[in-house]
Structure 1
């Protein structure tokens, strides 16, 4: 065992992270030689440490000349709640990080975690498909106007369905305004007037509850997610419209009640 510890020292490192238990004698040996020993690191944690510090995970210590050491500015133990954690800061590569969420209760923490997860999912999809569209209801207003123009060329009752689709698109900017606590009817009317005047980049500025230029404000959305959202909503509406009738089954009799 001490031979293996000496091989670790030959790597010229000052921090050693191990996935398994480090016994007292090796730990004291590392401490005497100025090496911090961290034990019981989980596999995902070791992979993340290697990613952010620029090092490589090794399973043997026979070739110190080929090992790649990671680097960071500071390592410290922090306490979050009742948990003790090891924090690596000032990492060389910085390709990964840990986000600590705090909240007054479990419900707020769950909501914050869901919101963060949704934001990261959008970010990852946008990184894969870099095409974006203007947000703030601008894209929906443009699509609604295009569908309205199409409805004028459709004959018969089908034109009513096309107009309904345009109205559904205009409801999305209203939902954005409602969620921000503003008067959705007033803002949607202003948005329609702006697009009718040729201001095709206008959308809802939820910072102050007005109409603004989404391109100047930098409000964009992922084109891929926007397309998927519209396709999913359209498919759901079509599925409901295909339902001709509903057959209600007789409730199953309970065993504790007489027939």
Structure 2
């Protein structure tokens, strides 16, 4: 006699079957994105079935963007999607690396499970290996924050490394300067909201530039000055129209046109009073989040005020002492492509800036924006944690060597070291190079004591990567820790229980 524990149609996978299902799912996700890794990585086209035209079309090699766009049913695969999101939120880049490394660790774990080694034994070895790898990474990290020239060069090198695997790789030197200049304006803050990115289709990618100040995608009102110096700004969110009674469901009946004229006159006088209150604040620039219609616009022109953006948003003007006004040096109209916009120069905070991106297609612009965001995010985190490490497979080989040397008694630690060595192998494979030969040379160089050796994927050689391929220490540490934690969590699972699908009622 058998007792049914779960609802009908619920499923359960146990022990080896559960582990195998998880590991295969995670490896499949790693294999999906690993071809995008490195400066020679390929892109993916993601197309939504519900969108028409090119609205649902995304061309990208950003790991987080790819993984969050595809529907997955495997539980372990969803864990890797989550770690890529965390990596994106925490550091901004390395989303592909963290998924690929976690998948490679699990690929090695699968071979150990086939040898009948218990998952907890493997996990213990992986934990020791992670600690050794982290220690080696921290010992190799250096900081040049006290040397201003070298510090800027480090930031530029990090930006170039980040951008070299993106769509902006051909202009990485120009965009590295743009990103570094933008982030240094933040003066140590990691709040990226002050760096605005405006995308305008048309022109070439190389026509993009960094503009000091804030650019607002609005037009200056009719009969308003196109340049205001010493701007005193009010930002409002208030209705500025007189053509309807603003009470929902209200009805007004009039018996003759004279009463209608009186009603219109009252509305106009009410609007005149509001404009006078705004003008009495002593501002010379006014921006409203709602439309400004002809009559109040004419009143503003008469009062010689401009129409633009700044300080805290106000919706009532009866208590002028409670309204916080903004300020900046200049407010002027500029033209980007064929569009007129408003630029606020010399903002009060002194930190705002705008990256203006140009490009041939909307997909190109969207991917360029993702690339700039990744670079800016990594740079801002590097300023907060100024240590750097070296890329091109250098750091992974360094950690692999340290784990190998400590793996005298643990076969799991040897497996972890092999997983780390897979990262430079994949970089070389994606570049169409002989990965077996190159990684063997790289490993030999590290065992000879040349610990700053990495791969030159453009010339197919092993070189000293100091000053050539630089990465953020925080990014690399986060990739290591997140990947090993995700692999450990997936290895711990010995049971997968799926609920019965909910029945649809006709």
Tell me the TM-score normalised to structure 1 length: 0.67
Q: Conserved in 2, the CA contact under 8 Å of 1:71 and 1:91?
A: yes
Contact kept? 1:144, 1:166, Cα under 8 Å: yes
SS in 1 for 2:449: coil
CA contact (8 A) 1:205 1:212 kept: yes
What does 1:94-243 align with in structure 2 at a 5 Å threshold?
94-100=351-357, 102=359, 104=361, 106=363, 108-152=364-408, 154=409, 159-217=410-468, 219-223=470-474, 225-243=475-493
Would the alpha carbon gap of residues 34 and 218 (structure 1) be closer, same or farther in structure 2, given more than 3 Å must change?
farther
User: CA contact under 8 A between 1:135 and 1:203: conserved in structure 2?
Assistant: yes
Give the superposition deviation at 1:233.
Answer: 1.7
How far apart are 1:103 and its partner, in Å?
5.0
Question: Does the residue aligned with 1:36 lie in a helix, a strand or coil?
Answer: coil
CA distance 1:3–1:170, shift in 2 (3 Å):
same
Counterpart residue number, 1:28: 298
How far is the alpha carbon of 1:67 from its aligned partner?
Answer: 4.6
| RCO higher in structure (CA 8 A, sep ≥6) | 2
Q: Which moved more, 1:110-119 or 1:239-248?
A: 239-248
SS at match of 1:20: coil
Following the alignment from structure 2 to structure 1, what is the Cα–Cα distance between the partners of residues 369 and 444? Answer: 38
Give CA-to-partner distance per residue, 1:89-131, whole Å, 9 cap, x none.
Answer: 654535232443645364x555444444433443343333333
**Matched residue, 1:75:** 333
Q: Is 2:341 the partner of 1:86?
A: yes
In the aligned structure 1, how far is the partner of 2:353 from the partner of 2:383? 15
Partners of 2:329 and 2:273 in 1: how far apart? 25
Q: Quickly say closer, same or farther: Cα 1:245–1:34, change in 2 above 3 A.
A: closer
Contact 1:78 1:87 in 2 (8 A): no
Deviation at 1:164, TM superposition (A): 1.0
Match of residue 204 from structure 2 = none
Q: Distance in 2 between matches of 1:19 and 1:189?
A: 61
Q: Pick closer, same or farther for the CA change 1:246–1:70 going to 2, 3 Å.
A: closer
CA 1:27 to 1:123, structure 2 compared with 1: closer, same or farther past 3 Å?
same
Q: CA offset at residue 188 of structure 1?
A: 1.6
Q: Deviations over 1:58-93 (max 9, x none)?
A: 635846xx855212363235467xxx5624165453
**Deviation at residue 37 of structure 1 after TM alignment:** 2.0
Distance 1:236 1:20, change over 3 A: closer
Distance 2:401 2:332 in 1: 56
Total equivalences in the alignment: 228
5+ residue gaps, structure 1: 39-45, 51-55
What is the aligned partner in structure 2 of residue 42 from structure 1? none
Scaled by the length of structure 2, the TM-score of the pair is 0.38
